[in-house]
Structure 1
Amino acid sequence: MNSGVLSHSYLSIMEAKSIEDFRGQIVHFANELGFQYVSAMTVVDQSLTRSDFVTIDNMPLDYRQAGASAVDTHRRDPVMQHCKRGAVPIVWDQETYLRTGAIDLWEEQAAFGYRTGIALALHLPEGRHFMLGVDRDQRLPKEPSELTRIVADLQLFAVHAQDTALRLFVPAEKLVETPSLTPRELEALRWTMEGKTAWEVGSILGISERTAVLHIQNAMRKLGSVNKHQAVLKALRLGLIH
């Protein structure tokens, strides 16, 4: 893909006005990149146990009817699990599924043309996530520089596409409002994340144990959490602590 086509793709996806327009733009980009299929998933965490999903793709109807989107399939799929846990792109093929004991999943999808591909995830503040993957039935380039270029193109396109996806598919009322925590409350949570007790947190911050407990309790209340561990997890998801 030359730079002119790339620039046009970035601009076009940013200007998409509807679901069909968005789908058309990501399919066009994937095809120009040399892939038959593409999938873009927007995820917004509403709580520690519930998330809203919007997926836009060009998956063949017969593959969809075969159960490609089943929850159990996603839980076992090594590509999905990789993207769920990290932000480094994954280049996958048959060997990826073989190593994780999920070769049956690869065989099922390979029958529909999903034999290899590249996928990545952008984990954003406020519990928002964007996953983008391109797939095809032909082997990926063996030349490292060529493969690196494709991955870089996909990453840059994903950055532009995620803004549009959130604008189009996530109503403002469903976006998680980020609680306002004080610097001391955030510090207390960070040290709690490291396994420190309230007494240890107080010693580190130069405050009393009681004050440390109050900071942690205030953080729990603002985050709507029932204990300090849940508060740490939610703060991590919202990007308040790292």
Structure 2
Amino acid sequence: MSRRSLDQTLEITRSIDRARSPADIAEALLFTGARFGFERVLAGTMPAPGSTRSQQLAHVLLADWPDEWARRYFSHGYLFADPAIRRVRAVGGPFLWSELELDCAEDAAARRVMNEAGEFGLRAGFTVPLAMLDGAVAGFSLAGERVELPPAMRGALTLIGSYAVARCVQLASPVDAARRRPPRLSPRETEALQWAAEGRTEGEIAEAMGISEHGVDKHMRVARRKLGTRNRTHAVAEAIRLGLVR
């Protein structure tokens, strides 16, 4: 790693260390990753095979994925067909998604997941498998439409990903959660999150709640702000983890 890369890595790890919410971490990561074409980030521990949608979402630590893609991904059980997740479970080294071509060529379900991800601007990515101290396995991914990652930066992003996941785990720990206290959500904000946790679209949530889609968006925006998250998927994950919805 060059001196410049080291300085950049130390700078972002300091930003992550100062983060007080997952949204802060995502912002720091994407600010750094933008120079390589990364526009999205996702991190989480691996749920057990056969886990329900809510159980899968509870394992999400960091999410800045397109909401519609995340809804489809978890509703259709794509996590168990995703070739990147299979690589993560094997806990090998970090990899570019372009290295999954052989896996996709031999597996129609895996190919479908990656092709559909591309429809949402997630055509290229870099994933870091991580073995946790408690025996759990986690994955950290950065993605975008077009990515150019110099080989020399793979090590730096691996270190940054490890640090980001560790900080997310720390923020989600019972001690830290108790210190931060769960936010007070209104009944309508909680209801909107509950429907979202069940995989409903904005239109379906609006119909169930008897309000407009604009009203749903307003409730979700306030809930995201209170939970310290950047999008619907991560708001639902945080709400499940804090016991605010099931």
| TM-score normalised by length of structure 2 | 0.58
Give yes or no for contact 1:14–1:163 (8 Å, CA) kept in 2. Answer: no
Structure 2: distance between partners of 1:130 and 1:106: 20
Residue number in structure 2 paired with 1:129: 137
Structure 1: distance between partners of 2:115 and 2:47: 31
Structure scoring higher RCO (CA < 8 A, sep ≥ 6) equals: 2
Gap regions ≥5 residues in structure 2? 49-54, 178-246
Residue number in structure 1 paired with 2:30: 27
Deviations 1:12-60 (A, max 9, x none): 1122112221222222232244311111214588xxxx88513322112
Does the alignment pair 1:165 with 2:172? Answer: no
Give yes or no for contact 1:44–1:128 (8 Å, CA) kept in 2. Answer: no
Partner SS for 2:77: helix
Deviations 1:109-167 (A, max 9, x none): 111111121111211222333311111222546xxxx2x22321211102221321111
Residue number in structure 1 paired with 2:92: 87
Does the alignment pair 1:151 with 2:154? Answer: yes
TM-superposed CA distance for 1:88, in Å, is: 1.2
Does the alignment pair 1:75 with 2:83? Answer: no
Partner SS for 1:69: helix
Instruction: Pick the aligned partner of 2:12 from 3, 9, 12.
Output: 9
Q: Indicate the structure (1 or 2) with the bigger Cα radius of gyration.
A: 1
What is the one-letter code of the residue matched to 2:42? S
Structure 1: distance between partners of 2:142 and 2:176: 31
Question: If each structure's helix is expressed as a fraction of its own residues, which one has the higher value?
Answer: 2
What is the one-letter code of the residue matched to 2:173? V
1:101-140 to 2 correspondence within 5 Å?
A: 101=108, 102-138=110-146, 140=148
TM-superposed CA distance for 1:108, in Å, is: 0.9
Structure 2: distance between partners of 1:108 and 1:161: 27
TM-superposed CA distance for 1:81, in Å, is: 1.0
Give yes or no for contact 1:115–1:136 (8 Å, CA) kept in 2. Answer: yes
What is the one-letter code of the residue matched to 2:82? D
Give yes or no for contact 1:42–1:53 (8 Å, CA) kept in 2. Answer: yes
Structure 2: distance between partners of 1:92 and 1:44: 21
Gap regions ≥5 residues in structure 1? 175-242
What is the one-letter code of the residue matched to 2:61? T
Number of matched residues? 166
What is the one-letter code of the residue matched to 1:116? A
Q: Which moved more, 1:151-160 or 1:27-36?
A: 27-36
What is the one-letter code of the residue matched to 2:119? A
Residue number in structure 1 paired with 2:70: 64
Partner SS for 2:41: strand
* Residues 27/12 of structure 1: CA separation in 2 closer, same or farther (3 Å cut): same
